[in-house]
Amino acid sequence: MPLVSRNEPSLDSRWSWWVATVGVVIGALSFGAVTSVPILLKPLSLHWNTGASTVAVVHTSAMFGAALGGLALGRMLAAVGFFRIALFAALATSLGLLTAASAESLTTMHVVYGVLIGGIGQGAFFSPLTVAVSQWFDRHRSVAIAVVACGQSVGGLVLPPLMRWGVDIMGWQAMLAWYGLVAGAALMACAFVFRQGAPVPAHRHPDPSTSGSMESVSARVLIMLGAGMALSNHASFIVIGHIIAFGEERGFTPTAAAALLSTILGISLVSRLSVGQLSAKWGSYKVLAGMSTLLAFATAGLALGHGSVALAAAAVAIGVAFGGYLPGYAILVRDIFPAEQAGRRIAEIYFFAFVAAGVGSWTGGWTRDITGGYAIPFWLATASAVTGAAILLSCRRRLQESPR
């Protein structure tokens, strides 16, 4: 249901959609930076002469940093505006990648990925970016949130094969340095789209999120939503963090193994483009529950799958689910809470997501190293996905009392 009547003035405009498009570019470049560790897991493990779990912990540091950074920057958003945050994050991302390219120890990698690339870069270019773009919309806000979330999908589709190709051509260190220069310049240019603040609505039509729905949703339900998000993301990032290494262990070429990750993140583009419209039509809770349930079945399919066709089918299903539930939680939370709390509340729900992503990347590597394969890690992902879907379904009655 649109947030304003079609006969009333709306914030939505051509410029609004341009802002959303730039948000996709920002999200893609930032996601490429923070996901460069799982993309380069094998080359990094060989360089540092260590196991997958040890290198995967660098990605864990990045996710933990993004969780804390998202909370802090989400709370700063209303006070300083997204333009300043975006400039700062662009510089931090570029500096972090350049430093990582010349790192002489894993400790340095932990610091730059945890603080610069994850904490400041991804911390700014996820939940604060989502809120900043949503402020340019009222009638099609759910669609806009879904569109900006497509940045991950675009980055996931394009960047893993390019990065692995770059490693083959010039080595991982030179590739990271070039990406740091190019992505940093592009992110800084994109930030200037937000120099002009979002428009203030001319009308005072009540936002449904302020109509008492906040009072109907207890802190316990919010925590349960966070737990559901965390478990789903834990499952997804066991797969995302290790699917390339898994493919290489199955005998795929590095480029073909990277294509498995591209399949997951690329196909998620389809569901992310759809989830906004589906949420407006069927309700954000129903769509979110469906995507979470699909993830449980898809991870089980990956654990059971043998052969390239079965693995590709599981990757497609995981991509659809991942593409749907991640913006789905933001849409649901934005529906429940008033506009002035959006930055803080979306940052809080994604705090759980980032922490779980980091834990997932680490537990996938840890269980792989102690078991010698990826069967147990993928069954662990299935257990997390099933539990996350069950928690979300247990919230059904309270969540269906919300405006959606």
78, 130 in Cβ contact below 8 A?
no
Q: Which two tokens stand for residue 64?
A: 């933990």
CA distance 151 to 169: 26
Return the CATH number at 34: 1.20.1250.20
The mean pLDDT of 104-108, rounded to a whole number, is: 90
CB atoms within 10 A of CB 323: 29
Domain-located, residue 143: yes
Instruction: Tell me what pLDDT residue 212 has.
Output: 44
Domain-located, residue 80: yes
Summarize pLDDT for 186-212 with one digit per residue, the tens: 999 999 999 987 776 655 444 444 444
The mean pLDDT of 267-274, rounded to a whole number, is: 83
Instruction: Tell me what pLDDT residue 239 has.
Output: 93
CA distance 240 to 262: 10
* Most confident option among 122-126, 182-186, 308-312: 182-186
Domain-located, residue 318: yes
Instruction: Tell me what pLDDT residue 231 has.
Output: 96
Which of 126-130, 212-216, 281-285, 355-359 shows the lowest mean pLDDT across its residues?
Answer: 212-216
CB atoms within 10 A of CB 390: 14
Domain-located, residue 135: yes
Q: What percent of the chain has pLDDT over 70?
A: 89
What is the tally of structural domains in the chain? Answer: 1
Residue 2 has pLDDT above 50, yes or no: no
pTM listed for this prediction: 0.74
Summarize pLDDT for 153-175 with one digit per residue, the tens: 788 778 888 888 898 899 999 99
Q: Give residue 2's region: left, alpha or beta (phi > 0; psi -120 to 50).
A: beta
Full domain range(s) for residue 161: 14-198+214-396
Measured between its terminal Cα atoms, the distance across the chain in Å is 8
Q: Running DSSP on this structure, what letter comes out for residue 119?
A: I
The mean pLDDT of 225-229, rounded to a whole number, is: 91
Better pLDDT: 306 or 188? 188
SS3 per residue for 218-239: CHHHHHHHHHHHHHHHHHHHHH
Q: What percent of the chain has pLDDT over 90?
A: 35
Better pLDDT: 3 or 270? 270
Domain-located, residue 293: yes
CA distance 350 to 131: 12
Instruction: Tell me what pLDDT residue 218 has.
Output: 59
Instruction: Tell me what pLDDT residue 376 has.
Output: 93
Q: pLDDT tier at 319 (50, 70, 90 boundaries)?
A: very high
Q: Which residues, at least 6 apart from 233, have a Cβ–Cβ distance to it below 8 Å?
A: 326, 352, 353, 354, 356, 357, 360
CB atoms within 10 A of CB 14: 7
Q: Which two tokens stand for residue 399?
A: 């969540």
The mean pLDDT of 360-370, rounded to a whole number, is: 87
The mean pLDDT of 88-92, rounded to a whole number, is: 97
The mean pLDDT of 380-386, rounded to a whole number, is: 96
Domain-located, residue 6: no
Better pLDDT: 25 or 280? 25
Domain-located, residue 363: yes
1, 278 in Cβ contact below 8 A?
no
Instruction: Tell me what pLDDT residue 292 has.
Output: 95
Domain-located, residue 302: yes
Instruction: Tell me what pLDDT residue 136 has.
Output: 85
Residue 14 has pLDDT above 70, yes or no: yes
Q: pLDDT tier at 340 (50, 70, 90 boundaries)?
A: low
Among 298, 295, 359, 292, which residue's Cα sits nearest to residue 332?
Answer: 292
